[in-house]
Structure 1
Amino acid sequence: MGRKAAASQPKGQSTSVTPDIIKVEAIRLFSERGYPVIGMRDLSEAVGILPGSLYAHIASKEKLLLDIVASGVRNFTDVIAPIVERDGPADERLREAIRAHMRVLAVTLDQTRVTFHQWHYLTNDNLDQMVAVRRDYEMLFKRLVAEGIEDGTLLGTSRPTVATLSIIGVLGSATEWFSPTGSASADEIGDAIADVLTLGLGTR
């Protein structure tokens, strides 16, 4: 994405600036430099308006972060939830869910990096909202693990929550090393991750 979303816009003029443009630039800045480092002046310079004019489009920097991370999680739940709801062996659906996660990551790398690693800067009600959204994401994998144990496609474990969090942890860390332009496709990387993650749970 461009370094300046509205580079040709005269400073102090906001006619071409929208909340979506601000969000795109915030994702870039938060991903590159981190949420705590970026101030309202940085955001305003990125979109080409005065700092005070930002408040005509966003409520606050923290509300902007909440929007980024909540929509970032929903990017994944929206594609994984239908896979979970399908019929079929749970281990196969788990593999497809991991592939789907990597496909989404391939087109939302910056936002996902912010989503999984900077959500903890949220406070109070904003943090509560994010925790609820993240819980919905976690429950999808928790359900797949539970159904896999039930249908016999995954090995029973006394700590299914640990298995679920291990899957989520590996997928979350992929933001640090996965490259959409690398030699392996998102599906190929997803299959490789699934091979490793299901190695200790697989029964076949």
Structure 2
Amino acid sequence: MRDLSEAVGIRPGSLYSHISSKEHLLLGIVETGITSFIDAIRPVVDEDLPAEEKLREALRAHMRVLDGQVEQTRVTFHQWQYLGPVNRPKALAVREEWESLFTRIVADGIASGEFRPREHFRLTVLMIAGILGSATEWYRPSGRSSPEEIADAIHDQIVGGLTSG
């Protein structure tokens, strides 16, 4: 809290008039972070596109958001586990909403015949979430590939697994 108060130019005690606790601050970072991904991806999921194209565009939307907030995303996807029993379910509910967007895409693709049915359907969605959640470990905004190029490479690997025998 001392570092945060120095960064914003107020005394640590004054910070508590705006933030009730470190955990409340962490919950806010997590919820805001995941919501930014949901807000970027939901319009894609609601579009009338083939599932494979929805997946590509959803991955691109995710990577564009990540490109603009790598540090917040690192906290968002990795630090929620330090929330206590009151706040952890709140963070998990928002994360489940984010995952549900990918669940819809994969389910729509299976229903349309674009993707083959999966015995472990939930595992497919968790793998997508895992790839995207771990992207903060290897993605660099200053890297040689754009967010869209990275998203397209991820898409091609995922779709290869969803469509091949």
Q: Shorter-normalised TM-score: what interval? A: over 0.9
Deviates more, 1:181-190 or 1:49-58: 49-58
Which TM-score applies when normalising by structure 2? 0.95
Q: How many residues were matched structurally?
A: 165
1:50 is displaced (CA, Å) by 2.0
Q: Give 1:199's aligned residue.
A: 160
* Structure 2 residue 138 is the aligned partner of structure 1 residue 177: yes
- Structure 1 unaligned segments of length 5 or more: list them: 1-39
1:57 is displaced (CA, Å) by 1.4
1:173 is displaced (CA, Å) by 1.0
Q: Give 1:53's aligned residue.
A: 14
- The correspondence for 2:66, drawn from 97, 101, 105, is 105
Quick one: distance in 2 between partners of 1:202 and 1:112?
30
- Structure 2 unaligned segments of length 5 or more: list them: none
Quick one: distance in 1 between partners of 2:42 and 2:91?
18
Q: Give 1:14's aligned residue.
A: none
**Identity among equivalent pairs (%):** 55
- The correspondence for 1:74, drawn from 25, 35, 45, is 35
Quick one: distance in 2 between partners of 1:87 and 1:41?
49
Q: CA RMSD, aligned part only? A: 1.3
Structure 2 SS opposite 1:150: helix
* Structure with the larger helix share: 2
Structure 2 SS opposite 1:199: helix
1:49 is displaced (CA, Å) by 2.3
Quick one: distance in 1 between partners of 2:33 and 2:127?
20
Larger relative CO (CA 8 A, sep 6+): 1 or 2?
2
Quick one: distance in 1 between partners of 2:83 and 2:127?
24
Quick one: distance in 2 between partners of 1:47 and 1:82?
34
Quick one: distance in 2 between partners of 1:149 and 1:99?
21
Structure ID, larger Rg: 1
Q: Give 1:166's aligned residue.
A: 127
Quick one: distance in 2 between partners of 1:163 and 1:189?
19
1:48 is displaced (CA, Å) by 2.7
